[in-house]
Amino acid sequence: NRLYQSKGVPARYKAVMEDLLKNVWNESEIMEDIARIQKLTRDHLHEKQDRLEDGTEKVTELVRLRRSDIEKELKDWPIEIGEARVPLHNVQVGKLKGSFSTDWNNERMESVLNMGETNIQLVLEGETIALKSIGMAAQPEEQRNFGRRRRGASENQPREPRPTLTFQGIRESDGYLMNITFVVANEDFAKSNDEGTPFQGMLMAINPENSGNRFGGFGMMPKSLIGKLTLKEASRRQNAPVVGEFDGIIQESRGGMFGGKRNRGGRGPGRGRPPER
């Protein structure tokens, strides 16, 4: 897209396409290759590949129509396209700060409302977010493999879950569950030195009416967190105290697939995610 909008490129693009259609794109030769490959493979395919005939028909149809489709666009040249998509980048949209005191729990808990002791100052888009029923827990991260194993892993050697700090509270303005998760590297989960302990994490607002569908119940797109922990006490022994403070920023992804202005073929501004609450 960016290259196409450079001076002189549309004309060069058209010239190259016309040359390819004239000297390279030979429908007869391509059709012969398709028929030859189809004949060679017909009796050597697995039963799960028995839809070869349908696939072949789609390819041959593409070959038959490709020239006319391209020529139609070249006839009405240059085509109009939207501006280039803004590159994906992060923007700070808030900050958070606070303290906590809890005990390590080897078993994960979905709800940590009213657990432990914590104080959170949460500012999002310039607004201080008031929370009630605030709670937190120190526990292993949630394991989500989505049917795939990490590279080099085996069923006998699962990756050790990293320690997490999970904070939850009910947003007073609308009753949404604010879920804040800090993830700490295994080797860093110990009493902090003067430089502090880095963390990454995520902030989500979950609609309680859709709590059974975690991925469909967001009141806003998840936002990333980065910052520093000051761990005064930290251990992954069951019921061991985990005490500390945190200070970080909230980031939102912009551009790319998260709101870039890239339109073509009738894709209007109405496309995309709904505004946040």
Q: pLDDT, tens digit, for every residue of 181-201?
A: 999 999 999 988 888 999 999
Q: Which residues of 70-105 are buried (b: 16+ CB within 10 A; e: fewer)?
A: eeeebeeeeeeebeebeeeeeeebbebebebbbbbb
Instruction: Please tell me the predicted confidence (pLDDT) of residue 85.
Output: 74
pLDDT band at 158 (very low <50, low <70, confident <90, very high): low
Domain C-terminal end among 19, 53, 75: 75
The fraction of the chain above a pLDDT of 70, given in percent, is: 79
Determine the pLDDT at residue 199.
94
Alpha-carbon distance of 226 to 250, in angstroms, equals 7
191 part of a folded domain: yes
The answer to whether residues 47 and 17 belong to one domain is: yes
* Shared-domain flag, residues 21 and 65: yes
Q: Final residue of a domain: which of 75, 102, 126? A: 75
Check whether residue 119 and residue 249 sit in a common domain.
yes
Q: CA dist 43 to 55, 170, 210, Å?
A: 16, 62, 51
- Cα–Cα separations (whole angstroms), residue 60 to 52, 66, 67, 261: 12, 10, 12, 35
Q: Are 246 and 124 found together in one domain? A: yes
Q: Are residues 237 and 188 in the same domain?
A: yes
Q: Do the domain assignments include residue 274? A: no
Assess whether 61 and 184 both reside in one domain: no
Q: Confirm whether 190 is domain-assigned.
A: yes
More confidently predicted of 150 and 26: 26
Residues 17, 124, single domain; the answer is: no
The sign of the dihedral angle between the CA atoms of 236, 139, 223, 277 is negative
- The verdict on 103 and 192 lying in the same domain is yes
Across all residues in the chain, what is the average pLDDT?
A: 83
| Residue 216 and residue 103 share a domain | yes
Residue 267 in any domain: the answer is no
Structural domain that includes position 59: 9-75
pLDDT at 155: 52
**Residue 252 included in any domain:** yes
Over the stretch 214-266, which tens digit does the pLDDT of each residue have?
Answer: 444 445 688 999 999 999 999 999 999 999 999 999 999 888 765 544 443 33
Any domain includes 81: no
Whether 59 and 99 map to the same domain: the answer is: no
Number of domains the chain contains: 2
Establish if 3 belongs to a structural domain. no
Let me know whether 66 and 118 are in one domain. Answer: no
Same domain, 127 and 244: yes
